[in-house]
Amino acid sequence: MATTIARPAPDELPKAPRDLLPVFIPPILALAALPLVGSPTTWVTLTVAALAMGMMIFVIASGLTLIFGLMDVLNFGHGAFIAVGAYIAMTVLGPLSGWVQSDALTLNLAALFLAVIAAMVGTGVLGLAFERIIVQPVYGQHLKQILITMGGLIVAEQLIHVVWGGDQKPMPLPNGLRGAITVGDFALEKFRLLAVAVGLTVFIIMQLVLNRTKVGLLIRAGVENREMVEALGYRIRQLFVGVFIAGSALAGLGGTMWALYRETLTAAIGGDIMVLVFIVIIIGGLGSVGGCFIGAILVALMANYTGYLVPKIAVASNILLMVAILMWRPQGLYPVARR
């Protein structure tokens, strides 16, 4: 007899405490920057740019944090998926240049959609091969994982040079996504708004999967105690391969968005952004998607404000941010239990 779970009336239940403090940090940081920036118009531009950048970093980092959380795998080769995804997208957009340069937004979005799908499928397949060939032999051996996945990143970058050439490539933004939407005195760049929408969509889908599906429950449980998940009869290795593929595909999506944001592309695009990605997953709490989301926004806000106010400390500012957060919460904003 399979029936729904009998449960007591909601008013009988004690409420779970919610830790909302980290959620308030990004708005506090943004408001603190307003008087320093001075001009509200500039502040809005910087903040929207930061949100767009943050969402792209989140898309890239969310898979990596789950990969680490679930199997303790330190994948320094994640940057390879970012770069390969971007190059695959560029390859798909090439023959679709008519659609890309069209004034019809639907054709622009259709071209982008096809490029993103190709990038995600390509990097998903690459992720499967990467897990099987490179990661699988070094489970539980962190030092070897760092060395071999960094080696994988270098090999992937060199293969990109072989296949697509070593020179810098243009990554033209579709016509309909160029320019800005004006709201009062504020100009909001269209592509940045799209990046925010994509990032939020990925975050919502991940939250739904993690909280409303059995696979999501297994991932959350596995991040916390994979041995117990196995003792309940679940084959966590298969789950991990699935998460690795999904994380690689998300890196492909993030890489495509990041390359479009920069409008240029080199094989090193993945490696360049990985420093920020690692800061984000450490700040967020290894294995925590919610922490990764807030961490990505924080890192991007800090990078944009300091880049405008004191460009010389733009890079160091995020290291300082990470140190400050780890002094406050040594396991990150939302530490996963047992970590």
Partner 1 sequence: MSQALLSLEGVHTHIGQYHILQGVDLVVPHGELTVLLGRNGAGKTTTLRTIMGLWPPSQGTITFDGQSIGGQATPDIARLGIGYVPESMGVFADLTVAENMRLAARLGPPDAARLDWIFGLFPALKRFWQLPAGLLSGGQKQMLSIARAIVEPKSLILIDEPTKGIAPAIIEGMITAFKELKRDKTTILLVEQNFRFAASLGDSVAVMDDGRIVHRGTMQALASDSALQSRLLGLSLAAHQ
Least gap, CB of 286 to partner 1 (angstroms) = 13
Quick one: 143 or 232, whose CB is closer to partner 1? 232
Residue in 162, 167, 227, 311 binding partner 1, rule: CB under 8 A: 227
- The amino acid that residue 277 corresponds to is V
> Quick one: tokens of 99?
């659609």
Burial of 5 (0-12, 13-18, 19+ CB in 10 A): exposed
CA dist., res. 186 & res. 40, Å (int)? 9
- As measured in angstroms, the least distance from the Cβ of 10 to partner 1 is 8
CB of 63 to partner 1, least distance (A): 19
Of 56, 71, 115, 236, the one binding partner 1 by CB under 8 A: 236
Which of 235, 264, 315, 323 forms a contact with partner 1 (CB under 8 A)?
Answer: 235
User: Could you say whether residue 9 binds partner 1 (CB under 8 A)?
Assistant: no
- Residues 69, 206 contacting (CB under 8 angstroms): no
Considering only residues 199-218, where is the footprint of partner 1 by CB under 8 A? 214, 217-218
Number of CB atoms found within 10 A of residue 138's CB: 17
Tokens linked to 206: 């991940």
Count of C-beta atoms within a 10 Å radius of residue 141: 14
The interface mask with partner 1, positions 111-150, x = CB under 8 A, is ----------------------------------------
Q: Is 234 a residue that touches partner 1 (CB under 8 A)?
A: yes
Is residue 327 within the footprint of partner 1 (CB under 8 A)?
no
Q: Which stretch binds partner 1 (CB under 8 A): 2-10, 120-128, 182-190, 262-270?
A: 2-10
Nearest to 339 by CA among 71, 69, 146, 20: 69
- Applying CB under 8 A, the span of 112-120, 155-163, 231-239, 246-254 interacting with partner 1 comes to 231-239
Told to check if 225 binds partner 1 by CB under 8 A, we report yes
The Cα 167–Cα 39 span in angstroms is: 39
Residue 183's φ and ψ, nearest 5 degrees, are: -120, 105
Kindly report the number of other CB atoms within 10 A of residue 190's CB atom. Answer: 16
Tell whether residue 72 is a contact of partner 1 (CB under 8 A). no
Residue 229 touching partner 1 (CB under 8 A): yes
Taking the least distance from each CB to partner 1, the nearer of 142 and 161 is 142
Residue 300's CB is within 10 A of a number of other CB atoms, namely: 25
Could you tell me where the DSSP H helices lie in the chain?
A: 21-37, 40-71, 78-93, 97-101, 105-130, 142-164, 190-212, 214-231, 236-262, 269-284, 289-309, 314-328
At closest approach, how far in Å is the CB of 127 from partner 1?
23
Contact mark string toward partner 1, 17..56, x via CB under 8 A: x---------------------------------------
Residue 3's CB is within 10 A of a number of other CB atoms, namely 5
Identity of the residue, 236 or 276, whose beta carbon is nearer to partner 1 in the bound complex: 236
Q: Strand 186-189 relative to strand 180-183: parallel, antiparallel, unpaired?
A: antiparallel
- Contacts to partner 1 by CB under 8 A: 1-8, 10, 12-14, 16-17, 214, 217-218, 220-221, 224-225, 227-236, 336-338
